[in-house]
Amino acid sequence: MKVTTGVFPFGIGSDPFNNFQGKNVNGDHIKNWLYALRDGNTTQMSLIQQEMIMSQPPNVNTLISQYSQAQGHVSWKAITTIGAYNESDTTTDSFVEVDISSQGPGGNVTGIMIWHFTTLSGRILTIELVGGAPRAPLQ
């Protein structure tokens, strides 16, 4: 007997940003920004960040050198929408977890990044890396 879930692995017909749909949130800019970070696309990230109201938006080149697959030498394993919360000022706070791994001298190291996005009508106003730490392999 075979059991199927009807869900494909990440990247094959599934979109972790569908959770935004039911909350009147347009997750396209968040999705595009994260995918640009993963792929090391400075142009795409810079274009999205032009809409931000932060006095000092995150430095695109620094983020790409640390967290992209190409330059940061990390593998993105999964992207999970933790939650999206509508606020009284009509903005939406969204939290997204990115599971990553990297090859270290002692073996494979895994970790997570937790990103906080504040959006208004789908437009990203602020971005903040609020959590994340590498986890050493179990001995």
- In this prediction, residues 31-47 reach a mean pLDDT of 95
- Domains of the chain, CATH where assigned: 17-135 (3.10.450)
pLDDT at 9 over 90: no
Whole-number Å distance between alpha carbons of 66 and 18: 27
Give residue 98's pLDDT: 94
Our separate counts of H helices and E strands in the chain read: 3, 4
- Can you tell me the mean pLDDT for 104-110? 84
Region 50-73 average pLDDT = 91
pLDDT given for residue 17 in this prediction = 52
Determine the Cα–Cα distance for residues 15 and 24; give it in Å rounded to an integer.
Answer: 17
Half-sphere exposure of 21 (CA within 13 A, CB side): 5
